[in-house]
Amino acid sequence: MRTFATRRKVPHSAARMFDLVADVEKYPQFVPLCESLRVRSRSVAKDGREVLVADMTAAYKVFRETFTSRVTLDRDRLEISVAYLDGPFRHLENRWRFVPVDDGGCEVDFHLEYEFRRRSLQLLMGAMFDAAFSRFAEAFERRADAIYGRSRPVAARGRPAHSA
């Protein structure tokens, strides 16, 4: 299984970063490999969390795959979790956490695990997906800077993708 995790300090509030990541319909505009994203359904769970079921099509050159995920938006805890439902993966799970910091910004914690269903697809696409996933957090930070402005430089820490 492949994993990627990063923690980045950004000059934007945790609430703003949560809203930006929760706005999944905008992903095709700036997320690496995201060709399209369609929300099939939206509901509110008994605990108040919003739950989306969405189809995302990832594309790169001749490769194109669509997969379905359940996205749980927990605004109270400033967490977003994504659980895989259907598509070319054996396993796909990711999590975002937004932790407020004293200067008004936040730390964005992004964790992803994935494994393709077919080994041949893993061999063919694994390195390309690793490269794209390693740029996810950066893509969201650039998007936040474009929407909210950039007030000061911040530090970043990340762990590159690896095979487990």
Residues 96-137 have pLDDT tens digits of: 999 999 999 999 999 988 888 777 666 666 666 667 766 777
Q: Is pLDDT above 80 for 145?
A: yes
Query: What CATH number does the domain containing 132 carry?
Result: 3.30.530.20
Q: Is pLDDT above 50 for 164?
A: no
Number of domains comprising the chain: 1
Domain enclosing residue 94, as ranges: 2-163
Q: What is the pLDDT of residue 130?
A: 67
Q: Pairing relation of β-strands 106-116 and 63-74?
A: unpaired
Angle CA 61–137–160, to nearest 5: 80
* Sign, CA torsion 106/75/3/35: negative
Q: How does DSSP classify residue 83?
A: E
Q: Is pLDDT above 80 for 19?
A: yes
Q: How does DSSP classify residue 30?
A: T
| Nearest residue to 95 via CA among 84, 105, 85, 104 | 84
CB hemisphere CA count around 117 (13 angstroms): 8
Q: Is pLDDT above 80 for 81?
A: yes
To which residue do tokens 């054996």 refer? 90
CB 34 within 8 A of CB 21: no
Q: Which residue has the higher pLDDT, 132 or 158?
A: 132
Region 154-164: mean pLDDT is 42
Q: What is the pLDDT of residue 6?
A: 87
Q: What is the pLDDT of residue 138?
A: 82
